[in-house]
Amino acid sequence: MPTETVAEHKPFQAEVAELLHLMVHSVYSETEIFLRELISNASDALDKLRYEAIAAPDLTADGEPPRIRIVPDKKAGTLAVIDNGIGMDRQELIDNLGTIARSGTKSFLSRLTEAKDGAGLIGQFGVGFYAAFMVADRISVTSRRAGAAEVWTWSSSGGNGFDIAPASDEDARRVTRGTEIVLHLKPDATKYLEAYEIERIVGAYSDNIQFPIELKPEEGEPRQINSASALWQRSKSELKPEDYTQAYRSIAGAFDDPAMTLHYRAEGRQSYAVLLFAPSTKPFDLFEPMRKGRVKLYVRRVFIADDADLLPAYLRFIAGVIDSEDLPLNLSREMLQNNPQLAQIRKAVTGRVISELENLSEKEPENFAKIWDAFGAVIKEGIWEDFERREKLLTLSRFTTTSGEKRSLKQYVESLKPNQTEIYYLVGDSVERLKSNPKLESATARGIEVLLLTDPVDAFWTSAPLDFGGKPLKSLSQGDVDFGLIPMLDDNAPKQSSGADEAATIAVIKDALGEKVSDVRASQRLTTSASCLVAGGAGRDRQLERLLAQQNRGAATKPILEINLRHPLVAAITQQKHVARDLSLLLLEQAQILDGELPEDPAAFANRLNGLVLRGVSGQPG
Ligand code: ADP
Ligand code: MG
């Protein structure tokens, strides 16, 4: 009698025996991943059948649609996972379920044994079929290779070996194609017989398996418990906008409409499908530092991880799926971080997202505006973080300026004034406050556009040396500005000096303010206001100083007081010696208030102001 027809006991490959030993004695709590593994294998088997049937249509001549069926049986204490996929013949059962062909198994095993919480690694690596031994003390696999007459049953209790035997007549009649895996559940794993538990696990891990997964309850008809639509794998032409909206909502767990949808397939060195969405509204936890990305990594339609950092942090509002055809299914955490293939995908997809945002900004400005309103503050983090894409991100950025809202730098540069060589900005808390900031005056008098930056992140990204189209970005509250070559709008406006004795005035004010400021200078920025505070050219911008000071970070540097020599208050300083000190302090305090700060000593400020006003009212020199 040929061996192919009799029952045999065979030993496991040494690695399998070792792995099974670990599985059987596992204390790993998230045993539920066994179901993900079995469903993923079933899905692979359906994929393979689909592929083989292209060349051999007979294999699916029975017309049975592909499906995966889960059948709990409480009385027997068994859970069956059944597919009508490619199936396995005798030798395949022996090879596939008795050895581990994957490379790296040895090193994985040694890590698993060494690690104190070896069990914890199980979930991270995924151990495939053998994970089922975490929940079952006996497993039997009955399988019919598509198109074959023979049906074989593999069974094992996870010890040193397995039995392989022809299936019983009854089993052979039932399994017409594919594989039926029956788990005899351990006493502590019987919760996996509950319909709601099965549904929960399938929903969590396998919802996007493209084949229908049916649950056959103990009573009643089988019903489908997954959505079975790996939508990203379908071609764009067969999908309607509603399909995308629904997919967006189910993938992102959102309720709004996507403001941008990016769906494509990359082929070449690597193939993967990409389906990404930008929401049109802001999620509540956008600025949580711990917030993870929302792009799920799939490998061949099997969910792998939703925290694989597939996009840089400044695109953390993008949600969706990247489904790779090439990556191994058992990707560990380390591999997620260090895998060069994944790094390539990350780079390519990031570039694609940004160019799609660029497209949108040109072709659908309203939708782009929604994204910018909700996430502009996040995208701007990239100007600071992503040196390589700085120029692109600056191009995408939209600003409120003294000329209007949602202005791009391209528009700004197109409307430069004659001789203007820099892009000016001012950082502060609110547009209203910035608009009344005296530092704008001289720019306004020349019709120079100024970006009014009010997001907290603006203080940070602007601290990088930046330029756009060869024009450096320059803060109006930092260092020197020189508008000298840019003509005034109104030719009759007073030009520079008033003829007052500059040096003497500055000396008096310096003397009065002492250590409160680092310097006092005549201002180029002011036309109508008396004074303003600026940071030194090499120092940090005033707004960044303020933010850091609020967080007690970084030593505050003293500002420079700039004064408008044409202003009567400044002129009065040299003319009315008896109030020179009070007036000097007032110049400083006014400037602080106009920057949205409090004077150092508000009570003294109020007294000083009252004193000066009363003197003025009574007309008496003090
Ligand atoms: P992997 O899926 O990574 O290959 P597994 O341990 O999950 O590793 O499965 C081992 C092999 O067993 C699979 O590669 C496949 O050849 C075979 N196999 C497992 N389950 C099935 C099934 N339901 N139908 C057909 N073949 C299967
Ligand atoms: Mg598998």
Q: Which of 105-119, 183-197, 514-528 shows the lowest per-residue confidence on average (mean pLDDT)? A: 105-119
Whether 88 is in the pocket of ligand 1, judged by its Cβ within 6 Å, is yes
Q: How far apart are CA 9 and CA 600, in angstroms?
A: 88
Position with higher pLDDT, 319 vs 490:
319
Whether 45 is in the pocket of ligand 1, judged by its Cβ within 6 Å, is yes
Q: In ligand 1, which atom is closest to the CA atom of 81?
A: 23
Which residues lie across from 602 on neighbouring strands? none
Whether 39 is in the pocket of ligand 1, judged by its Cβ within 6 Å, is no
- Alpha carbon 168 to its chain centroid, in Å, reads 53
Residue 289 has pLDDT above 60, yes or no: no
Whether 448 is in the pocket of ligand 1, judged by its Cβ within 6 Å, is no
Q: Under CATH, to which class is 231-371 assigned?
A: alpha beta
Q: In ligand 1, which atom is closest to the CA atom of 97?
A: 12
Q: How far apart are CA 210 and CA 207, in angstroms?
A: 8
Q: How far apart are CA 494 and CA 481, in angstroms?
A: 18
Domain ranges of the chain: 8-224, 231-371, 502-615
Q: What is the mean pLDDT of residues 402-422?
A: 95
Where are any strands of DSSP class E within 267-372? 272-279, 294-299, 302-305, 319-324
**Which residues, at least 6 apart from 518, have a Cβ–Cβ distance to it below 8 Å?**
536, 557, 558, 559, 560
- Two structure tokens written together for 17: 């025996």
Distance 129 CA to ligand 1 centre (A): 6
Q: What is the DSSP string of 415-450?
A: TPPTT--SEEEEE-S-HHHHHT-GGGHHHHHTT--E
The amino acid at residue 386 is D
Pocket test for ligand 1, best of 19, 23, 44 (most atoms within 8 A of CB): 44
Q: Which residue's CA is the nearest one to ligand 1's atom 23?
A: 42
Note the pLDDT of residue 481.
Answer: 82
Residue 90 has pLDDT above 90, yes or no: yes
The answer to whether the beta carbons of residues 132 and 37 sit under 8 Å apart is yes
Q: Which residue blocks in 291-339 are alpha helix, DSSP H?
A: 333-338
Q: Which residue's CA is the nearest one to ligand 1's atom 16?
A: 96
Q: How far apart are CA 218 and CA 427, in angstroms?
A: 66
Level-2 CATH architecture, domain 502-615: Up-down Bundle (1.20)
Q: Which residue has the tokens 């005034």?
A: 488
Ligand in closest contact with the CA of 98: 1
Residue 448 has pLDDT above 60, yes or no: yes
Note the pLDDT of residue 133.
Answer: 92
Note the pLDDT of residue 319.
Answer: 92
Note the pLDDT of residue 458.
Answer: 94
Could you read off the pLDDT of 120-155 as tens digits, one per residue? 555 444 478 988 998 999 999 999 999 999 999 999
Q: In ligand 1, which atom is closest to the CA atom of 131?
A: 6
Ligand in closest contact with the CA of 329: 1
Mean pLDDT of the chain: 86
From the candidate CATH numbers 3.20.20.80, 3.40.50.10540, 1.10.10.10, 3.30.565.10, the one assigned to the domain spanning 8-224:
3.30.565.10
Could you read off the pLDDT of 192-237 as tens digits, one per residue? 999 999 999 888 777 767 799 999 998 889 999 988 878 898 889 9
Q: Which residue's CA is the nearest one to ligand 1's atom 10?
A: 96
Note the pLDDT of residue 204.
Answer: 74
Indicate the DSSP class of residue 129: G
Distances (CA, A) of 467 to 358, 450, 460: 19, 15, 15
Could you read off the pLDDT of 351-388 as tens digits, one per residue? 999 999 999 999 999 999 999 999 999 999 999 999 99
**Which residues, at least 6 apart from 471, have a Cβ–Cβ distance to it below 8 Å?**
413, 416, 421, 422, 423
The answer to whether the beta carbons of residues 476 and 425 sit under 8 Å apart is yes
Q: In ligand 1, which atom is closest to the CA atom of 42?
A: 23
Note the pLDDT of residue 159.
Answer: 84
Q: How far apart are CA 176 and CA 148, in angstroms?
A: 9
Note the pLDDT of residue 541.
Answer: 76
Residue 2 has pLDDT above 90, yes or no: no
Indicate the DSSP class of residue 388: G
Q: Which of 405-414, 449-458, 485-494 shows the lowest per-residue confidence on average (mean pLDDT)? A: 485-494
Which residues lie across from 215 on neighbouring strands? 70, 223
Pocket test for ligand 1, best of 68, 93, 129 (most atoms within 8 A of CB): 129
Whether 41 is in the pocket of ligand 1, judged by its Cβ within 6 Å, is yes
Distances (CA, A) of 496 to 253, 421, 483, 485: 61, 21, 11, 12
Residues 424/428/434/440 CA torsion (nearest 10 deg): -30
Of 512, 510, 518, 565, which Cα lies nearest the Cα of 537?
Answer: 518
- Of all helices (H) and strands (E), which one includes residue 396? helix 390-396
